[in-house]
Structure 1
Amino acid sequence: MEINNTSEVFNTTVLNENYRLKEHDQYTAYRPVAFSFGLIIMLSNLTVVVSSGLILKKGQQPKSTYILLGNVSLADTIIGLSMLIGFSFENPDSSNPLCVFELGMLVCPAMVSIFTVGLIAVDRYIYILHGLYYQRWVNTTKVRVSIMFVWLIGLTLGFLPATGWTNHDLNSNCFYVAVFPGPLILLNSILSIVPIIVVAVLYSIILVSALKNVRKINASVDQAKTNTKSVLRIYRGNGNNTQSVKTSKQNNQNIKRSLSFNSCFEIESGKLDTKDFVSKSNTDLTNETFQPLPNKNKTSFNNVSVSLCSTNIGESRNTIGRDTDSTAGQRTKDAARGKIKEANKWRALTIVMLTTGSFIFTWMPFFMAVIFYVLCDDKEVNPKCLNIRLLLAGPLAALAFMNSIFNPLIYVWWHKGFQRYVQTCWKRYISRHFKGKC
C-alpha cells in the first residue's frame, strides 16, 4: 500500500511539473500576442472614445446610442491598457496582490463591455422595431443610470478577490481560474452569458423582421416592373410601332359635329349669321333639324372642325405619351428606391449577423470552458482539467479578447453618423494643412 501511495504521489508530482513547464512555455509564447492585441485594442477603441465624446459635445442625435458606443469603447480601451501593463511585468504568483489587481483590471472592463453590448442590443431592438416609442422608453438619463449600474457590478465582481476571497491554489501563475474562487467564477460566467443570450435573441428577432421587409420590398419592386410593362403595352404597343389609338391620317376630311362639341372654335372666313342658329325647344329639336348653312360658311366651319379635331387627337396622343413617360419614370424611381432600401436592409442584416456571430464566437467558448473547469473533479491531477486550464490561459483567452477588436469595427466604424463625422474631420484636416500645396 505504501509503495502504491508513493508511486501515485510521484506520478502526481511529475504531472504537475510537466504542466508547469507547459504553462510557462505557453505564457512565453503568448506574451507577444498579448502585446499586439493590447496595442490594437487600446488605439482603436481610444479613437472611438474621443470621437464619441466630440460627437456628444456637438449634440448629435441619438445621444443614447453614442453614449453606449462610447462606454463599450471605454471598457475595451481599459482592457487593452491592462494587457499592455501585464506585458510590462513578469507573470507574478497567484498570491501576489499585483496579480489580483491585474486580473481585476481585466475582469471588470470585460464584464462592462459585455453588459454594454447587451444594452446596445436592447437599444437597437427598440429603435428598429418600436421606433414610435423610442423617445419615450429610451433617454440619456436612463442610459447613464444603466451604465453606472453596469460599472458598479463590474467593479464589485472584478475586484472581489481583493477582499481575501481567493482560490487556495498556491505556487500557481497569475491566471483567472487560479485566483478567482469557483463560486465567483460561476457567478461571473452566468451573469455574462445572460447578455450574450439577450443579444442573440433580440438580433434574431430583428433579423426575421428585416427578412420579411426584404421580401415585401422585392414583391413591390416586381409588381412595379409588371405594372410599368403593362402600361407601356397599352399605350405604346410594348415598344413596337403600332398605335393603340387609331386616328385618321388625313386632316382635310370633313367631320360633321354639332356646334356645342367645339366650344372653343374660331371661324377664319367670317362670322356666322345668328339667324341660322335659332334656339329651339326640346320638342322642336327632336322633330326638326337645323337649316343648312351657306357653302362658304359651311366650308369654313368644317375646316375649323377638322383642324380642332386633328389637333385635339394629336394633343391627346402626346398627353398619353407624356403620362406614360411620367408613370414609367415614377415606377423606375420607386424601383430604384426599393433597391436602395433592399441594400440598406442587407447591410443591416450583415451587421446583425456579425454582431451576434462575433459575440458568440469569441466569448461563449471561454465561459463554457470555465464552467466545465469549475465543475471538474480533481483539478490538480486530472489531465482533462489541466488541459482545459491551459486552454483558458492561452487560446481561449486570446479568442475572448478578440471581441474587443471586433466591437469598434462592427458598432462604430460601420455607424453612418460616426463615418460622416470622421470624414468631415478628415476633410477639414486636409484642407487646413495641405491647402495650396497640391
Structure 2
Amino acid sequence: MLSTSTVVITSFRNVLALSVLIRVGLILYSEWHDARSLVKYTDVDYRVFTDAAQFLLHPGPGSGNRAQGPLGEGYGDPYTRETYRYTPLLALVVSPNDWLHRSFGKYLFAGCDILNGILIYNILLPQQTRSKATLYTALHLLNPMVFSISTRGSSEAVLSSFVLLTLYAALRDRWTWAAVMLGVCVHWKIYPAIYGFACIAALAGGGRQIRMMTLLKARRILWFGVLSVSTFALLTGGCYLVWGDPFVYESYLYHLHRLDHRHNFSPYFYLTYLTYPSPTVGNFTASTSDASISISWLNDILESPLTSFVPQMTLAIGSGLVFGYHLPKTHLPFTWFIQTTLFVVFNKVCTSQYFLWYLLFLPLILPRVTMSTTKAVLCISVWVGVQALWLSEAYRLEFLGVNVFYRLWIRGLVYVVGNCWVLVQLMQGYDYSYVTRKYVESK
C-alpha cells in the first residue's frame, strides 16, 4: 500500500496544488516579513521592476521621465529608474503593481512557475507514464531554488515559460510557432538565441539516415530563420520607436561590456577585477604585485569582450549544431541543456540565479540518463560542493572585508572544473539511442 506522501507526489494534480500553496504562502509571508524586518525577503530586482513600472505609467513634465523614441510622446520612461536593464515589456506586465497590488508581479512570476510545471509534465508524457512524469515534474515545481526565486520577485520564470513554449512547439513539429516564440525569447533576453542554432541543425539533419539538404529542408530552415528574426525585430523595433536609445543600450548593449568583480562564479572574475576601470575596487586597491598586467596589449586582451565571448559562444553554439544535427529532434531538451550549461559556466558574469537557466531542462533529460547511485550522489555532491566552496570564500570578502580576490578566483576555477565534470558524467550516462514517436503521433 502506497504511503500518503507517495500518493501526493505521484498525483500531478496534488503536486500542482501543493506548488500553488507553497508559492502563495511565501508571497503572503514576504509581505509580513518585509514590513517587520530590515533584511527583506523581496529581491531588490523586484523593487527595480516596480519603480520602472511606475515611471512607465506616470510620464513626467518636459524632458523628465519621458520616453525618448520617435513615438514616445505621452509614455513614461522605465529607464529613468537606474539599474533597470530589461525590455520595457517587463515593466508593462508588472504595471498592476502600481494600481492593483504591490505583489501582483510575484503572483505573475509564481503563475509562470506553475505553467512551466504543466509544460514540463506534458513534454514528458509521450515518453513516461503519468506517475513518472509527475515525479520528474515535481523536481522543478518543488525545487526550493525555483519557488524561492520567483516568490522573491525574480522574473526568470517568465523567460522560462517562453523557452518551454518554444521547445514544446519544436518537439511537435510546429516550427512556425517555435520560430515566433524564439523571437519573443531573444527579445526578452538575448541568450536564448543559442537555441536557434540547435533548431536549424535539427531541421537540417535531425538524426535522419539521409543527410542530403533537400529543397524542403532549405525552405523550412529559411522560413524558421526569417520568422524568428522578424518576430524579434518587430518587438525590438516597436520598443525602440517608443523608448529609443535608452532601451537599446540598457536592454542589450550594456550586457556586452558589463563588468562584475563580485558575486561572480565566472572564471573571468579575477581578470575583471585586475582590469577594473577604477584603481580602487570596493574597499581594496589592486596589488602592485600585479604590475605586469599593466602591459597595454595584455590589458586590451583582458578587457576585450571577445576574451570571454569567443570560447563561450564557440562551445554553446557548436554543441547546438553538433547535437542538433546528429540527434533526432526529440533530443532537443538534452541539446538545449548542454548549450545552456556551457553558456552559463563560461559566461563572464555568473550568479546563482543563472543556474535556473539549465536546471529548467533537468527534469526532461533525467529519464534518459543512466548512472549508478554512487555516481549520482557524487555528481550532486560535486555540484553543491564547488558552490559551497566558492560561497564560503565570498562570505569572507563581502561580510568580513578580507581581501581574498585571488583565492576566490582559484575557487571559481574549481567551480568551473567541477561543473564541467558533472556535465561530462551526464553526457556519458545519456541514452542517445532513445527515440519516441509519440510526439509526432500527438500532433
> Structure 1 length as normaliser, TM-score?
0.25
More helix by share: 1
Looking at both structures, which has the greater relative contact order when contacts are Cα pairs under 8 Å and sequence separation is at least 6? 1
For normalisation by structure 2, the TM-score amounts to 0.25
Highest CA radius of gyration, 1 or 2? Answer: 1
